[in-house]
Amino acid sequence: MNQTKGTSIRLFLADGTPEGLRLVEKSNWTGVGLVCSRAGYPSARIRDEYSRPGVYMLLGPAANGVGKRLYIGEADELRSRIDNHAKVKDFWTEAVSFTSKDMNLNKAHVRYLEARLIGLATLAKRSEIENGTAPPLPHLSEADQADVEAFLEQILVILPILGVIAFEIPTAPALVNQVHQQSSSSEMSSDSQSEQLFLQGKGGVDAVGADRPEGFVVFAGATARLEAVPSIHSFLEQKRQALLGQGLFENDGDRLRLTQHHVFESPSTAAGVLLARSANGRIEWKDGKGRTLKEIQEAAIEGKHALTS
């Protein structure tokens, strides 16, 4: 059985405070990440790393108040480009940049990184994207493309640690392509079956999801109640409207349908959005045997406890 290998990521507080400039490095990687607030950028910009070619992300609150707003760019010199954005773009509160420690990134490389990141963020639909359509990928030799893809892979490992989840595209368990395929469970692996959780409710709610480290994933094809109950929490209603605006929900007659896999902040948010009311996701989501997520989690802890005691 293949096992994921561990890795080391180093987060250095350049001025000794968690609010200041942070430098991010990863073992066996030539890149370096820089994270700073907009307020801290005037002090951080003097560093040599900002004089190099790189790719960057500007982050701030979404216009609809739910989630993050994101702009992705590239530059021959990070400093001059971010300086300009500090003058003309008002929304951002944090800048995350990546460059190379050994100066091996050039203009074509960072343009490639920009195009790939915009494409991934657009597909994921987890943030409000400030960019328009993704630019075309620049032509790179086969060797250069492999090197830049490897560089991108490390960026995508680091970003969630920094709280940037805009690029993660969730996947469904093997052989699960539509809601409630448990009727053909004999064809599924035991791992796929154990991961699935189900939700049903009034208004045609019928969904399959999974509780994962990155959040609670609801799989494409899930159906949600069309009209929210009058007492729905404002956050849940804003989240529903945001998903409609992003095209993640489509009207399916008397209910809504999820167009692609989506990661919610918690099981309760996922259940509340689909049921269009306040909900305890740890009780509402159940496996094929009828066990609630709460019961599954508690049993898992008891099992681990038995192994260590």
Answer whether residue 277 is part of any domain.
Answer: yes
Q: How far from each other are the two terminal CA atoms of the chain, in whole angstroms?
A: 26
Mean pLDDT of the chain: 88
Looking at the fold, whether 140 and 62 belong to one and the same domain comes out as yes
Supply the range of the domain harboring residue 149.
9-162
Answer whether residue 14 is part of any domain.
Answer: yes
Looking at the fold, whether 115 and 215 belong to one and the same domain comes out as no
CA atoms of 283 and 292, how far apart (whole Å): 5
In the structure, what pLDDT confidence band is assigned to residue 18 with cuts at 50, 70 and 90? confident
Residues 16 and 73 sit within 8 Å (Cβ to Cβ): no
Looking at the fold, whether 200 and 284 belong to one and the same domain comes out as yes
In the structure, what pLDDT confidence band is assigned to residue 20 with cuts at 50, 70 and 90? very high
Residues 243 and 220 sit within 8 Å (Cβ to Cβ): no
Answer whether residue 173 is part of any domain.
Answer: no
Q: What's the number of domains the chain is made of? A: 2
Long-range contacts of the stretch 140-148 (C-beta < 8 A, 24+):
140/108, 140/109, 140/112, 144/108, 144/109, 145/112, 147/109, 148/109, 148/112, 148/113
Domain end position, chosen among 135, 162, 189: 162
Is residue 179 scored above 70 in pLDDT?
no
In this prediction, residue 178 carries a pLDDT of: 44
Looking at the fold, whether 147 and 191 belong to one and the same domain comes out as no
Answer whether residue 206 is part of any domain.
Answer: yes
Looking at the fold, whether 20 and 157 belong to one and the same domain comes out as yes
- Which residues, in sequence order, are CB contacts of 206 under 8 Å at separation 6+? 179, 180, 199, 200, 222, 223
In the structure, what pLDDT confidence band is assigned to residue 176 with cuts at 50, 70 and 90? very low
Answer whether residue 175 is part of any domain.
Answer: no
Average pLDDT over residues 243-268: 93
- Which residues, in sequence order, are CB contacts of 237 under 8 Å at separation 6+? 228
In this prediction, residue 267 carries a pLDDT of: 96
- Say what the pTM is: 0.80
Look at 137-141, 166-170, 199-203 and tell me which has the smallest mean pLDDT: 166-170
Residue with the larger pLDDT of the pair 277 and 180: 277
Answer whether residue 185 is part of any domain.
Answer: yes
Answer whether residue 176 is part of any domain.
Answer: no
CA atoms of 137 and 151, how far apart (whole Å): 16
Q: What tens digit of pLDDT does each residue of 21-43 get?
A: 999 999 889 999 999 999 999 99
Average pLDDT over residues 68-78: 96
Looking at the fold, whether 139 and 254 belong to one and the same domain comes out as no
Of the candidates 79, 90, 102, which has an alpha carbon nearest to the alpha carbon of residue 32?
102
Average pLDDT over residues 289-308: 81
Is residue 181 scored above 80 in pLDDT?
no
Residues β-bridged to residue 128: 69
Looking at the fold, whether 240 and 204 belong to one and the same domain comes out as yes
Q: What is the 3-state composition of the chain as percent helix, strand, coil, each rounded to the nearest 5?
A: 35, 25, 40
Looking at the fold, whether 114 and 231 belong to one and the same domain comes out as no
Residue 235, Cβ density class (10 Å: 0-12 exposed, 13-18 middle, ≥19 buried): middle
Average pLDDT over residues 112-128: 93
In this prediction, residue 272 carries a pLDDT of: 97
